[in-house]
Amino acid sequence: MSEPGEGKEPPKGPSDKWLDVTRKTFHSATFKAGQYKRIVQKKIDLGALHKKISMAYADLGKVIDDSRGAGEGDILATDQVQQLLQRLDSLKQAAETLEQEIEAIKTESTTEGEHEETH
């Protein structure tokens, strides 16, 4: 025979509620810590990319100055300058991607984190 409340959770007592609250608080804290860790790592990567971008700009400036000093005509059309410009473009794109990833991590919520962990 089937009891009227079968299939439903029994009413929670004070200790069960306390455990649920503790579990949710723990999950929220660990989620925020993980989120912070991922943001910090992305920012470290972004800092390294910005350093590479600065170095590429310095290299580009040196190549342009050397070419100008050598009396070359169309400095921007040289292979070396074009390669540096392409490198700069790819580095800037990578930096933009990292910035977008950082913003996406910042907007994540603990409910999304719970959903991801269960799947």
Q: Between these two residues, 82 and 116, which has the higher pLDDT value?
A: 82
Domain ranges of the chain: 39-110
Quote the pTM value. 0.68
User: What is the per-residue pLDDT for 63?
Assistant: 93
Residues 93-117: what's their mean pLDDT? 80
42-90 pLDDT, tens digit per residue, is 999 999 999 999 999 999 999 999 988 888 888 888 899 999 999 999 9
Q: What is the b/e burial string over 91-103, where b = at least 16 CB atoms within 10 angstroms of the residue's CB?
A: beeebeebeeebe
